[in-house]
Amino acid sequence: MILASDVFLDVKAFLDDDSSGRYNEQNDLVPPINNAILYLVAVFNAAFEAKKISPESLRDLSITKILPVTGITTKKCDLSSITDLWTIFGVEADPIITGSPEVLSESRNRFATRMTLENWNDALADPFSAGTGVSIPSDFVRPGYLGPGAYFSDGKLYIMIRPASVFTADKVAIWYLKNPTKIATGATSVEFPKSLHGLLVQKTLNYLSMQHEGSGGYKSASDTKYGSITEQEIKTLVNLMLS
């Protein structure tokens, strides 16, 4: 992980080489580093989508949580207890669990395949698809899941898992990335690998300069174009992660 104070030191070294103390941590440095973190999340999302890097590479943000499922032919899993969800990268149907609170003890190697809505519907009649609705020998059954999505009238996020026959107990392990913790002070850690320190400094500098642009004041995260991620930005991130 990266200590925010280390980023702040490098930022001030670029902007305040005479150590004037003109930059206040809370007002000048904390907002832009949080915007820089959101920028990195956007680039990671683009890299995940392009399959240039996997979510599992972010070890400090990876969490496994055991949740109950309900249903007869299709199981549904309520995700509302995961309040810090960034993205799901694994759904393990019917894991071996222990303890209270329940934790993952061992995998049964029944990870579900992530499916589009079209895949999900087609699988109902296709015995060779993950999550098929066709009765096949248990040794060949491969679970599939759909979501997350607000599929029901309660407004909660759910994933749907099929077929129900893969469960011996109504439990599922959700492997996910949590949202990075917002920086509150220089003593807070940024939950990204140290290899991204330089990129984080660069983007913090960028957002700090935007903060002091003209009389308009600071531009919030909603004003920045996180969605306009270039191939070069993805390449830079991937190269740093692999370095």
What is the overall mean pLDDT for the chain? 90
Give DSSP secondary structure letters for the chain.
-EEHHHHHHHHHHHH-TT------IIIIIHHHHHHHHHHHHHHHHHHHHTTSS-GGG-GGGEEEEEEE-B-SSSEEEE-TT-TTEEEEEEEEES-EEETTTTEEEE--S-BPEEE-HHHHHHGGG-TTSTT--S---GGG---EEEEEE--STT---EEEEE-GGG-SSSEEEEEEEEPPPPP-STTSEE-S-GGGHHHHHHHHHHHHHHHTSTTT-PPPGGGS-TT---HHHHHHHHHHHH-
In the chain, where the domains are located? 2-54+192-242, 59-178
Digit-coded pLDDT (tens) for 16-48: 765 667 888 999 999 999 999 999 999 999 999
pLDDT value at residue 220: 46
Query: Is pLDDT larger for residue 86 or for residue 108?
Result: 86
Q: What average pLDDT does range 207-227 have in this prediction?
A: 57
Is residue 154 pLDDT above 90, yes or no?
yes
Cβ–Cβ contacts within 10 Å for residue 213, how many? 10
**What's the pLDDT score for residue 213?**
65
Q: Grade residue 108 by pLDDT with cuts at 50, 70 and 90.
A: confident
What integer pLDDT is reported at residue 138 of this predicted model? Answer: 87
Side chain identity at residue 5, one-letter code: S
What pLDDT score does 217 carry? 46
Tell me what pLDDT residue 23 has: 83
Q: In whole angstroms, how far apart are CA 152 and each of 49, 115, 160, 161?
A: 26, 18, 11, 15
CB 67 within 8 A of CB 104: no
Half-sphere exposure of 209 (CA within 13 A, CB side): 8
Residue 5 has pLDDT above 80, yes or no: yes
Cα 147 to Cα 6, 14, 78, 143, 150, distances in angstroms: 38, 44, 11, 14, 8
